[in-house]
Structure 1
Amino acid sequence: MTSFADLPTFTKLPDHTQLPESDGTFVKNFLEHPQSVLLTDSIEPILQQRHADGQYCIGQDSGIYWRMTDPPQRGAEAPDWFYVANVPPTINGESRRSYVLWQELIAPLIVLEFVSGDGSQERDTTPWTGKFWIYEQVIRPAFYGIYEVTKASVEVYHLIENQYLPVPTNDRGHYPISQLGVELGIWQGQYQNLDIPWLRWWDNQGTLLLTGHETAAQTQRQLTQAESQLEQAESQLERERQRTERLVAQLRAQGIDPEA
């Protein structure tokens, strides 16, 4: 296990305002942004419930600085998505530009990488340079997920005794993230005009966590269904009223008082 004691010492370590917030490269594919938004949008209600004080942050393709290098970007990893509990969403009233471990000292709970190539970078265990090694030995998120849309798959690792061990799927084929009370898995469906195997959250009962748009659409469907059922009930009542009026008229035609 590598600690900050093994890293070079500096008289004054830079903070997130002094470190680059981008390495100047393009996003690797069109999928990264909508996939990140989908994950964030659907889990926000869970996080807001767990953090009534608002003390948490989510990073999307943002740098996690773990050591000082020249240039500074070489000492950072930029997961496609990560979540950190019990830290403020801003620092000194400013939005975060990156996540600096020597400033925060709290590791992310979960880091997710979206594979663009063959997945070798995300599984690279080479000391000091491989992503898998850096996450396991230095950044040390409790969970590390590798999502491959081309294979419609995700694999999740849990840090146990300083080593990443594969998390087995449950009977729904999902990976439980016990600290959050959620599950991670693959969902085939349409989102932002793309019908692909998306990486998504479920609650621990197996119910899909919806985005705000999906929740609004579901509410609208339920409202439309309720209105339709009400119209059907009113129509049935009207038919019953008309039938009763016909029966009353027939009785009176036969000289029978309906009231009697």
Structure 2
Amino acid sequence: MTTTVQTPVPQLAITWPLLPDDFILPDDPVENTDQPLLAAALRQPLTPFPELCQDALIVSNFALCAAIDAKIICKAPDWMYVRPVQPWRKTPPRRSYTPHTEGTIPQVVMEFLSATYGEEYSVESTENIGKWFFYEKVIQVPRYVIFRPNTGRIEVYSLESGHYKAQEPDESGRYFIPGLDLFLGVWEGAHEDRTGYWLRWWDAQGNLLLWSEEQREAERLRAEAESQRAEAERQRAEAERQRAQEAQALLAQERERSQSLLAKLREMGIDPEQL
């Protein structure tokens, strides 16, 4: 019999200090050109909805911070959604986010994996804190998404009893994300000069939240359909008018023939009223 040994999680003294102004954040470059596009494609369709964007922090490659045993730890998810957060009225612009002190914990964090991934699955908790450990045990983010853009594979983990558990998709292959009350899924196609797999949002009715260019195209098609409907209605009304005119013309002809016939009867000395 094989015995699985569970490594005990150390007791952590977690606090939530604001990031000092002189704290030097890691200046790690974005891993590839796809990541900013993927992040922007997730944010853009949310902007028309004030209920999703007001008092929210929707960022990518942005420092998420906490202190473990008085040492500040920062991780930069490839995409993060937090709502509500306290308004930022300082200069320079916000460069980090500390849950509990500046607002609630993120509703969801996401990592986009390249061919060679690093600490997205790491549960290291002593030397270099792993992202998995940080999101699960320290921040306790309710939803953790790992996406492989090259293959379209998506993994969604929900926090249950302090541990991440793989979330099953619905019958459409999508995952419900509480806090946004939207469904997250994979879509394949072209956008922003990139063709491939994308993460996208659907509402509870199964409607895809459109990108701006799709919205413009949908509005163009709606306007074109409305124009065609109006033209069809105009043609129908014109046909009705022509039919009415033709009917009136036929009726006038029948009246004229009737009057002519009556006149001939009278000329013949026949009273039409006596017939």
Aligned counterpart for 1:5 among listed residues 13, 22, 29: 13
1:208 Cα deviation from its structure 2 partner: 1.2
Q: Deviations over 1:180-212 (max 9, x none)?
A: 211111012222132322101111222212234
Gaps of 5+ in 2: 1-8, 259-275
Q: Specify the code of the residue in structure 2 equivalent to 1:166.
A: A
1:146 Cα deviation from its structure 2 partner: 0.3
- Judge conservation of contact 2:14–2:68 (CA < 8 Å) in 1: no
Which residue in 2 is equivalent to 1:86? 84
Inter-CA distance 106–240: structure 2 relative to 1 (3 Å threshold): closer
Which residue in 2 is equivalent to 1:155? 155
Residue aligned with 2:180, SS: coil
RMSD: 3.0
CA distance in 1, matches of 2:231, 2:95: 54
Residue aligned with 1:172, SS: coil
Which residue in 1 is equivalent to 2:222? 222
- Judge conservation of contact 2:80–2:110 (CA < 8 Å) in 1: yes
Q: Deviations over 1:199-245 (max 9, x none)?
A: 01111222212234433332222122111110111022223322333
- Judge conservation of contact 2:55–2:87 (CA < 8 Å) in 1: yes
CA distance in 2, matches of 1:101, 1:188: 34
Q: Specify the code of the residue in structure 1 equivalent to 2:134.
A: I
Gaps of 5+ in 1: none
Name the % identity.
Answer: 27
Which residue in 2 is equivalent to 1:18? 22
Q: Deviations over 1:75-110 (max 9, x none)?
A: 321111101122124244653111135843732111
1:68 Cα deviation from its structure 2 partner: 7.7
Question: How many residue pairs get matched?
Answer: 246
CA distance in 2, matches of 1:66, 1:122: 18
Which residue in 2 is equivalent to 1:176? 176
Report the TM-score when normalising by structure 1.
Answer: 0.81
Q: Deviations over 1:45-92 (max 9, x none)?
A: 45x2257xx3221221111123489x97xx321111101122124244
Report the TM-score when normalising by structure 2.
Answer: 0.77
Q: Counterparts of 1:1-260 in structure 2 under 5 Å?
A: 5=13, 15=19, 17-20=21-24, 23-46=26-49, 48-49=50-51, 54-67=54-67, 75-92=73-90, 95-101=93-99, 103-104=101-102, 106-119=104-117, 121-128=119-126, 129=128, 130-254=130-254, 255=256
Q: Deviations over 1:15-43 (max 9, x none)?
A: 3643345x333321221112111111212
